[in-house]
Structure 1
């Protein structure tokens, strides 16, 4: 989460414009976007991995799927893999990631990916990023979302992607 993180600035289709943006310099320019990627890891048990944001981050102590901004030169898929591994210590193969969908936000293109995993690997959270991580059923994700304990941006994301995500989890898990 360093302020020296550099992002590609993209158009609404996710095509890099050639401009770069440094995290910490405020939002990308109006009409421009940067890519944010997230992974819903789906166990063969049918449960998914949630992470709880560290206290020092925006939306402290809120739940989410591991997520973060794609870095300069990085695809959404590569960014999703990197963020998952950095935040939870769990690695997946690039080809295991399947796009659930994209949400166009005010200045970000949010991509939610799903990936299958055997069993429920023990997460090793990065304490600067993640306070805790736990495997839960999708019904518990829904309950937490509706209880307002997810990071605020997830409300609109789930509004748009919940049905597709539910189908993906049902077809991937145990």
Structure 2
């Protein structure tokens, strides 16, 4: 398991328990969680970045927001920034990440962030990402309803849709 990701195990509130878990190990305990962080990136014209998962990955060729699991010792916001950089090459300022909300899954606490970027030059990770698109919020809604988003994101956006809409409206007012 030397190359496997190592996660902090948290309680339902996201507080570390002092234990860690290697991704893929079978000994996950009910009631334990790990942090997953994703970013809704918005550019100056209000378009939002979505990425398409590599065909070889679970939920291959489905769309999602860039993100992934927080590594041991990493905060949720740090994980969002790292995953965004690794998957897309984008590097918004750390203080540009605003927390939209959290969705609770069976073993994960999924945090969604909003980040505005001025530079939209993408450098996609070919192992993780098949494609990327800058789309409108109604386009995201259409893709979710038509089954184009990765299955986990359908449930996540059920919880996070209204907070995301509010955050995007607030972001638009700031611009």
Place the TM-score, normalised by the shorter chain, in its bin. over 0.9
Q: Which runs of 5+ in 1 are unaligned?
A: none
* RMSD of equivalent CA atoms: 1.4
Find out whether 1:53 has 2:53 as its counterpart.
Answer: yes
Specify the alignment match of 1:145 in structure 2: 144
Corresponding residue number in structure 1 for 2:168:
169
What residue in structure 2 maps to residue 159 of structure 1? 158
Aligned residues: 172
1:127 paired residue number = 126
User: How far apart, CA to CA, are the structure 1 residues paired with 2:137 and 2:116?
Assistant: 14
How far the C-alpha of 1:27 sits from its partner, in A, is 6.8
Deviation (angstroms), 1:168: 1.4
What is the TM-score with the length of structure 2 in the denominator? 0.94
What TM-score do you get using the length of structure 1 for normalisation?
0.94
1:95 matched to 2:95: yes
The answer for the alignment partner of 1:69 in structure 2 is 69
* Residue 34 of structure 1: how far off its partner (Å): 0.3
Q: CA deviation at 1:97?
A: 0.5
**Gapped regions of structure 2 (runs ≥ 5):** none
Counterparts of 2:28 and 2:92, CA distance in 1: 30
| Cα distance between partner residues in 1 of 2:31 and 2:3 | 22
Q: Secondary structure at the match of 1:99?
A: strand
3-state SS, counterpart of residue 102 of structure 1: strand
- Post-superposition Cα deviations, 1:64-94, rounded to whole Å, max 9, x if no partner, equal 0001000000000000000000000101111
Alpha-carbon offset, residue 122 of structure 1: 2.2
Distance apart, 1:147 and its partner CA: 0.5
2:40 and 2:7 mapped to 1: Cα distance?
Answer: 22
